[in-house]
């Protein structure tokens, strides 16, 4: 048996892929799964990498197979299963051993676990890229003590994706739940990016009468320009895919209801706590929730009719609208992380975050190189004010306005693109209209009114105004 300092618990799709990646990069690894047959099957299919993998039958045997100081990666479902696994490991580990939660944990759970006085060291890391990324190179956002990062840095940077400049897309975000927080914001941006692509697809389909086969080359062409990204690339591939049963477009038979795992929702919720507006992400979460209400949407269409009007837009308009929407969405995400850094006393390195996202993760795109540069110039400046992105917005915002206006006039739903434009217009008003809101609040306070229902607190069952 090869000596190893690293182990992994949980051989599901992501865990198995990550274990093979670690072994392939030259690090022997011990593995354990609660269901023993899964471990056996994993080892049997590991091929040439099996020599670097030590399968174990029991949790105690798993721990014993790892040479101290141990580093144990948990790839188990978020929530209570992580707490249960930590409790099971506690009597088997020493104070120098390290446990890494690499699942999609809520950062507040990671903060709680870190502060719980565990008998071993603990860190949480966000891993993005799906099964393919886990196997061949994900983007990794690590949170935890500096010494824990120092211990895991050689492994994590070895298995991570590489950007075009060969930089590993793995870095230390900060203490405690910082890594899982950055991963949640990544996922929120992912929701928004996917939603904006879907909205533009909807305009082409319902407003321009284009079939999926006609839409596919449009996305492919956009992927060769400013919008070059993994999501635009696969959108073209999805639009081009044929139904293997009926032979038509696969998009035309996919059920119109989008699932979600909750991380985008966490981003929207935390943004409210931080008073950091992320309306594009919030709109994307809302749109997914509405998509699940298929019966209600069918009833709405039956009563009010479906929007299928021809819009006077060009494909160039849609491309430019996407460019503007993407900039506005990412600007909101980075502003939210800046607010979190202040709130939680984290020294989040914004240029480093942008660099980590350049490869391996779902939102990887060529634009992130420019974002990293802009943030390196001034990390505290909103991205829309960086000269490069301000210039892109000067060029693309007129098209975004045309697209949003056409959608509103013709009844084509564009919640994320519309939210981005509304946010931008608020951000460009030195003197806005919030003085009216504040005036209303002041009036309520001065006259003893309940701001929720307008009742006068000086009368009736509400008692006397103070």
Contacts of 212 (CB under 8 A, 6+ apart): 205, 239, 240, 249, 250, 251, 252
Among 132, 190, 296, 377, which one carries the catalytic annotation? Answer: 190
Torsion of CA 406, 328, 178, 372, to 10 degrees: 140
Catalytic, out of 25, 57, 153, 183: 183
Classify each residue of 227-258 as buried b or exposed e, where b means 16 or more C-beta atoms within 10 Å of its C-beta.
Answer: bebbbbbebbebbbeeeeeeeebbbeeeeeeb
Token pair, residue 149, equals 């990062």
- d(CA 31, CA 358) in angstroms, rounded, equals 30
Q: Judge whether 377 counts as a catalytic residue.
A: no
| Cβ(414)–Cβ(404) below 8 Å | yes
* Tokens matching residue 319: 């491309």
How far apart CA 161 and CA 72 sit, in angstroms, is: 21
406 neighbors 208 (Cβ within 8 angstroms): no
Which position has the token pair 């309520």?
Answer: 444
Give dist(CA 46, CA 268) in Å, integer. 40
Report which of 140, 142, 56 is spatially closest to residue 98, judged by C-alpha positions: 142
End-to-end CA distance of the chain: 76
The Cα-based distances of 127 to 109, 362, 381 in angstroms read 16, 10, 27
Q: What are phi and psi of 363, to 5 degrees?
A: -95, 15
Please report where in the chains the tokens 């690894």 appear, as a residue: 29
| Whole-number Å distance between alpha carbons of 341 and 363 | 22
Of 225, 229, 224, nearest to 197 (Cα)? 229
What would you report as the CA-atom Rg of the chain, rounded to the nearest whole angstrom? 25
Query: Active-site residue 306, yes or no?
Result: no
Alpha-carbon separation of residue 434 from 273, 425, 443 (angstroms): 20, 13, 14
Q: Is the CA virtual torsion 273, 275, 276, 278 positive or negative? A: positive
Identify the helix (H) or strand (E) that includes residue 228: none
Helix (H) or strand (E) run with residue 101 in it: strand 98-101
Residues annotated as part of the active site: 183, 190
């Amino acid at each position: 048996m090869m000596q190893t300092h690293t182990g992994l618990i949980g051989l599901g799709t992501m865990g198995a892929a990550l274990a093979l990646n670690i072994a392939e990069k030259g690090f022997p690894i011990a593995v354990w799964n609660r269901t023993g047959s899964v471990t056996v099957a994993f080892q049997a299919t590991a091929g040439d990498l099996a020599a670097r993998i030590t399968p174990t039958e029991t949790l105690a045997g798993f721990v014993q197979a790892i040479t101290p100081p141990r580093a144990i990666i948990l790839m188990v479902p978020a929530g209570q299963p992580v707490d249960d696994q930590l409790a099971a490991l506690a009597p088997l580990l020493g104070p120098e051993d390290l446990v890494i939660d690499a699942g999609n944990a809520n950062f507040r759970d990671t903060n709680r676990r870190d502060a719980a006085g565990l008998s071993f060291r603990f860190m949480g890391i966000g891993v993005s890229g799906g099964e393919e990324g886990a196997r061949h190179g994900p983007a990794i956002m690590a949170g935890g003590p500096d010494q824990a990062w120092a211990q895991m840095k050689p492994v994590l940077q070895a298995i991570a994706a590489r950007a075009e400049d060969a930089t590993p897309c793995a870095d230390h975000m900060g203490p405690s739940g910082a890594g899982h927080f950055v991963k949640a914001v990544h996922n929120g941006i992912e929701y928004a990016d996917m939603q904006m692509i879907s909205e533009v697809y909807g305009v082409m389909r319902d407003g321009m009468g284009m079939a999926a086969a006609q839409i596919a080359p449009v996305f492919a062409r956009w992927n060769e320009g400013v919008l070059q990204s993994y999501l635009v690339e696969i959108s073209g591939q999805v639009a081009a895919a044929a139904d293997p049963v009926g032979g038509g477009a696969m998009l035309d038979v996919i059920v119109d209801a989008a699932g979600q795992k909750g991380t985008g929702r966490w981003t929207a919720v935390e943004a409210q706590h931080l008073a950091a507006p992320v309306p594009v992400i919030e709109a994307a979460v809302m749109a997914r929730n509405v998509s699940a209400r298929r019966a209600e949407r069918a009833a709405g269409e039956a009563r009010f009719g479906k929007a299928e009007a021809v819009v006077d837009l060009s494909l160039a308009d849609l491309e430019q609208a996407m460019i503007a929407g993407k900039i506005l969405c990412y600007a909101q995400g980075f502003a939210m992380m800046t607010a979190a850094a202040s709130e939680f006393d984290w020294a989040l390195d914004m240029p480093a975050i942008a660099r980590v996202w350049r490869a391996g993760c779902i939102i990887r795109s060529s634009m992130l190189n420019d974002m990293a540069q802009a943030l390196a110039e001034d990390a505290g400046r909103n991205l829309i004010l960086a000269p490069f992105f301000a210039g892109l917005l000067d060029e693309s915002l007129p098209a975004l306005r045309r697209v949003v206006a056409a959608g509103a006039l013709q009844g084509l739903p564009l919640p994320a693109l519309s939210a981005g434009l509304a946010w931008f217009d608020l951000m460009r008003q030195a003197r806005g209209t919030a003085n009216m809101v504040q005036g209303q609040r002041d009036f309520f306070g001065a006259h003893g009114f309940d701001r929720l229902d307008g009742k006068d607190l000086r009368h009736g069952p509400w008692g006397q105004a103070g």
